[in-house]
């Protein structure tokens, strides 16, 4: 099929590449001319594992192209995906100006019979607005509107698009249903689940999914506060909870909380939608408050460990809002860095992918070329984003270059016993700290043993 994709951000570009990979002919367009120029050279404007390689492959095969001219992209398309941004307004509601602008462009340039598909995350009722705009802008225009929300995770977005756990389509006409079934035929033929529903349900499903995942994260962080006071271990508690299939273990990790572009804005957008419809949803505001509290708690823990933050050097490992991406939008790691800097600390950060973006977002942050450089002369090392490579660091080498042997694991991602064995005082979130044994014979050699019983000792 001939497909046009409006918007080449994280959702639009992944959608373009994925649809081309399924055999469709795709043309992407964007109001950002510089981004289009970059894409036409086969380069991605952001990091997403495997995306740039797939982009170049599909462009070389002739299935994927980009143009700054909306008319060129829309004119011959059988289906048009709207993948533009829907950022939050000052009152928390979704800003749908780009959605309206896209609908107006479609009315000007698209052919009769086109199916217009919402891919952007939008409040329920947006399709009706798109439909009204199309009809008002072009008398006699024939079209169909559908909803096809994305469920992509940054860091695994291309995989999620090509191996989805569900494909949701909201349709209210036979033609729209047929087009979307054809679009995703290569996936459904491989057994991927297709859920067909009405448009309002499809629109609401994405907001509801993100809000519930945010709820699980905030619940885990609140429970971590209780665990610390009770002397319990949040990771063990969450593990026990997760064995219940009604609950599940995913998204019950305590730490710095959620960030990024989607969860914060989608949570409040759902709350504002509910309020506009006449229903107060205070639980969603509490989820947001608990998420903000997680960063405050981590900052307080660091201050408690170091006594005073003034003139302390703190190494911050991880700056992106999650591993696998260079996205620092609403990153909890940067929020923590900002708090520490405001308290007088000197913060040196390292991230495998997000250094440039982090520096642009928080200019006063110092950045290092690797974890060991960041840790040099540091009074505390803080793990703020759980990149896999941080778990493989040489702890002895880190200990040698640091001023104080202190680790605050704000993601509970490191091995407590390994840290203590390397001579570190280890402070996690919602778990008891693990301190090195001062009587260890290896202390004189720069190593200390963990006060954690071995499996053999437990069975004696």
Q: Which residues are catalytic?
A: 262
Structure tokens at 218: 């905030």
* CA 104, 108, 113, 114 torsion-angle sign: negative
Structure tokens at 34: 């510089």
Element (H, E) at 114: strand 114-118
* CA 129, 130, 133, 134 torsion-angle sign: negative
Give the pairing type, strands 436-437 and 449-450. Answer: antiparallel
Other residues' Cβ atoms within 10 Å of the Cβ of residue 435: 17
Whether the CB-CB separation of 193 and 167 falls below 8 Å is answered with yes
Determine the straight-line distance between the first and last CA of the chain, rounded to whole angstroms: 68
CA 342 to chain centre: 26
Cα–Cα distance list, 328 to 261, 331, 332, 358, 413 (Å):
9, 5, 9, 6, 20
CA-wise closest residue to 115 among 58, 190, 199 = 199
Beta bridge partner(s), residue 41: none
DSSP 361-409: H-TT-EE-SSHHHHHTT-SEEEE-S--GGGGGS-HHHHHHH-SS-EEEE
Q: Which region holds residue 235: left if phi is over 0, alpha if psi is between -120 and 50, else beta? A: alpha
Name the CA radius of gyration of the chain, rounded.
25
Residue whose entry in the numeric block shows the structure tokens 């829907």 = 86
Cα–Cα distance list, 73 to 8, 32, 70, 83, 108 (Å):
13, 14, 5, 14, 12
Structure tokens at 148: 């096809």
Structure tokens at 336: 């923590």
H helices of 138-257, where? Answer: 157-162, 174-183, 185-188, 199-230, 234-242
Other residues' Cβ atoms within 10 Å of the Cβ of residue 287: 26
């Amino acid at each position: 099929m001939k497909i046009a994709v409006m918007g080449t951000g994280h959702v639009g570009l992944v959608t373009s590449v994925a649809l081309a990979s399924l055999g469709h002919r795709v043309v992407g367009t964007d109001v950002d001319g510089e981004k289009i120029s970059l894409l036409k050279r086969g380069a991605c404007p952001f990091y997403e594992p495997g995306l740039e390689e797939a982009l170049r492959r599909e462009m070389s095969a002739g299935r994927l192209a980009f143009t700054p001219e909306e008319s060129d992209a829309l004119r011959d398309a059988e289906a048009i995906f709207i993948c533009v941004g829907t950022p939050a307004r000052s009152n928390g509601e979704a800003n749908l100006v780009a959605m309206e602008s896209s609908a107006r462009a479609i009315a000007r340039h698209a052919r009769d019979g086109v199916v217009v598909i919402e891919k952007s995350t939008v409040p329920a009722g947006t399709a009706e607005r798109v439909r009204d705009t199309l009809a008002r802008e072009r008398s006699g225009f024939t079209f169909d509107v559908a909803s096809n929300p994305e469920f992509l995770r940054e860091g695994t977005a291309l995989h999620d698009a090509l191996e989805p756990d569900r494909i949701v389509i909201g349709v209210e006409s036979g033609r729209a249903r047929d087009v979307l079934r054809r679009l995703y035929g290569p996936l459904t033929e491989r057994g991927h689940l297709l859920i067909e529903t009405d448009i309002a349900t499809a629109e609401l499903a994405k907001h509801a999914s993100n809000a519930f995942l945010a709820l699980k994260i905030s619940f885990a962080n609140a429970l971590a506060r209780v665990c610390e006071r009770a002397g319990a271990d949040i990771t063990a508690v969450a593990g026990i909870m997760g064995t219940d299939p009604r609950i599940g273990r995913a998204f019950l990790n305590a730490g710095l909380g959620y960030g990024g572009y989607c969860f914060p804005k989608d949570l409040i957008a759902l709350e504002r939608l509910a309020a506009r419809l006449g229903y107060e949803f205070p639980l969603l505001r509490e989820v947001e408050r608990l998420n903000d509290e997680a960063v405050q708690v981590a900052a307080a823990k660091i201050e408690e460990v170091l006594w005073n933050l003034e003139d302390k050097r703190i190494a911050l490992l991880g700056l992106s809002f999650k591993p696998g991406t260079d996205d620092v939008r609403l990153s909890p790691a940067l929020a923590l860095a900002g708090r520490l800097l405001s308290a007088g600390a000197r913060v040196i950060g390292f991230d495998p992918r997000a250094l440039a973006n982090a520096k642009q977002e928080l200019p006063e942050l110092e950045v290092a070329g690797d974890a060991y450089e960041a840790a040099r002369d540091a009074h505390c090392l803080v793990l703020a984003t759980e990149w896999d490579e941080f778990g493989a660091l040489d702890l002895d080498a880190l200990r040698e270059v640091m001023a104080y042997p202190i680790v605050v694991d704000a993601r509970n991602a490191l091995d407590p016993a390994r840290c203590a064995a390397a001579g570190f005082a280890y402070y996690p979130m919602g778990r008891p700290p693990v301190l090195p044994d001062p009587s260890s014979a290896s202390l004189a050699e720069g190593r200390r043993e963990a006060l954690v019983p071995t499996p053999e000792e437990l069975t004696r």
